[in-house]
Amino acid sequence: MICLQGGRPDEAQLHLQQLVDAYPGEAIYTERLATLLERRGHGDEAVACYRRLLAARPGLNNSRYNLARLLKRIGRSEEALQEYQACLARNIARPEEVHNNISVIHTARQRHELALAALQAALAHNPEYIPALYNLAQLREEQGDWAEALRLFNRILQREPRHAGALAHIAYGERITDPVAPVVRQIKRVLRNQDLAAIDREELLYALGKAHDDCRHYDRAFDYYRQANLLSRQRAGSYSRERQEQLVDQLIGHCDRHWLQTIPPVSEQPLVFICGMFRSGSTLLEQILAGHSALAAGGEIDFFQRELAPFPRTLTTLAAPSLVALGCRYLDYLAEAFHGGTRIINKRPDNFFCIGLLHALYPNARFLISSREPLDNCLSLFFQPMEAAQAQANDLLDAGHYYLQYRRLMLHWQQLAGNALLEVGYEKLVAGVRQVTGEVLDFLDLDWEEQCLDFHRAGNRVRTASAHQVRQALYQGSSGRWQHYEQHLQPLREYLQGALASQPGS
């Protein structure tokens, strides 16, 4: 512990290893060593530590549970499921936690019926287990059953009136017409608690911004969003414009035509990727296409983000054999996680960083680039809590800078793989959904199917902040939204206009 506190992890690891060797049956030493190994990026070695401990003492359910959680974190989900099942077989205490964790894995692997069954098993053990109730409510919401989701969120609030997630989901799921609506008043009461966790305060401030936006109180809404983003910036850290420019420079310089030719293809499958900025309309596009009998919504598959961590910088350090192996593992992942013989749509927007690699690995892949009016896109980022890796979302000018670097990289990919890319504008899609959908299907070499236009009635699970919008016949409320906030966007507007005017192709 002294070594860790003194910033000497090598020595700390040595001492912990000596403890584990001397006392192989003491779980606490193994778990501390495994935690340190994982923190240092040696996940497989951490797993091996747990395996040795459990081989000697298979009855250590808590250690087995921690192993399962570790396996899930490092992407070995199927092994995690096996360990969770072993915990249940050995009658672990609080089995509802295990079933809930199993449901999370099944959800990530698109096995929604199995996820539902796991949640039901958790609630059979403990009907008031809040995490399972919350996950079940989210599942119902994402499947389009808002009435049942609302009932579950309210049930949670009866037991935990300060549950930020339930309050925020209600605010997002309902159209708020009164700035003193019950959910708004309840959120404000919770925010008055000084001991409220920062992450909960952040989530509730975003929800208040949405509620006041609904009520067309735009200045109040913007102020709540501004407060939320201040907290989000503390959580995510600052965005470095210099590092982002260096990253794009590095990708453009490394991933050139010669580099692409060194990577042999691994499959002729016509894979489908939707890439672009986050909050650019990719969910709507995916749900429309998922209505086609030859396509299925895969959601935001983070395979390459995990495998190329730190993403996307690792892309430039791997040799061709490693990249080929990566390409094969992705095909194995799709075969394991999805069934039915349809083409899976990978809608992870920041796959735009590795379009060149994906084009080399899968020469018949098609890339749909979702795009949106830049001010609307940046504003939507600012109005939505994003994962920590998207730190640019917490400042409008940072979001604008990120957009410009995205555009610069896309111009590079257009030069290298232009025939495999099709830009799909959000505004054009909502204004002429039949025509644009037909153009996209032609690009994918698919015949027209009328059910693509019934996307809002489909039973697909929608796991993004746009879940409620895509359940409507055609949601146009986000087009031109920036005009409501024009006085707050003048610096961003001037910044983008000046930068775009000087870029090639403007």
Question: What's the confidence (pLDDT) of residue 498?
Answer: 86
Distance CA 386, CA 394 (A): 9
Is residue 362 included in any domain, yes or no?
A: yes
Is residue 22 included in any domain, yes or no?
A: no
DSSP bridge pairs for 276 = 370
Q: Which of the two residues, 266 and 474, has the higher pLDDT score?
A: 266
Question: What's the confidence (pLDDT) of residue 467?
Answer: 55
Distance CA 439, CA 210 (A): 34
Question: What is the CATH classification number for the domain harbouring 247?
Answer: 3.40.50.300
Question: What's the confidence (pLDDT) of residue 342?
Answer: 86
Contact 478, 469 (CB under 8 A): yes
Q: What is the mean pLDDT of residues 46-60?
A: 94
Distances (CA, A) of 458 to 291, 332, 452: 7, 27, 9
For residue 122, what pLDDT band results from cuts at 50, 70 and 90?
very high
For residue 163, what pLDDT band results from cuts at 50, 70 and 90?
very high
pLDDT digits (tens, 9 = 90+) for 76-94: 899 999 999 999 999 999 9
Is residue 357 included in any domain, yes or no?
A: yes
Distance CA 317, CA 311 (A): 11
Task: Pull the structure tokens for residue 477.
Answer: 């409320």
Percent of the chain at pLDDT exceeding 70 = 95
Question: What's the confidence (pLDDT) of residue 438?
Answer: 97
Position 464 pLDDT exceeds 70: no
Is residue 150 included in any domain, yes or no?
A: no
Distance CA 360, CA 92 (A): 47
Question: What's the confidence (pLDDT) of residue 336?
Answer: 83
Position 204 pLDDT exceeds 50: yes
Is residue 360 included in any domain, yes or no?
A: yes
Domain extent, residue 331, equals 241-468
Task: Pull the structure tokens for residue 397.
Answer: 């000018």
Is residue 335 included in any domain, yes or no?
A: yes
Position 110 pLDDT exceeds 90: no
Question: What's the confidence (pLDDT) of residue 174?
Answer: 94
Distance CA 263, CA 324 (A): 7
Question: What's the confidence (pLDDT) of residue 37?
Answer: 94
pLDDT digits (tens, 9 = 90+) for 378-416: 999 999 999 988 999 999 999 999 999 999 999 999 999
Please give the tally of structural domains in the chain: 1
Is residue 407 included in any domain, yes or no?
A: yes
Question: What's the confidence (pLDDT) of residue 471?
Answer: 46
Is residue 380 included in any domain, yes or no?
A: yes
Position 506 pLDDT exceeds 60: no
Name, in order, each residue with C-beta under 8 angstroms of 316's C-beta and a sequence gap of 6 or more: 250, 251, 254, 255
Question: What's the confidence (pLDDT) of residue 388?
Answer: 86
Rounded (10°) CA dihedral 349, 304, 234, 101? 110
Output the average pLDDT for the chain: 93
Percent of the chain at pLDDT exceeding 90 = 86
Give the three-state DSSP class for 248. Answer: helix
State the amino acid at position 315 in one-letter form: L
Contact 171, 212 (CB under 8 A): no
For residue 499, what pLDDT band results from cuts at 50, 70 and 90?
confident
Q: What is the mean pLDDT of residues 218-237?
A: 97
**For residue 373, how many C-alpha atoms fall within 13 Å in the half-sphere facing its CB?**
14
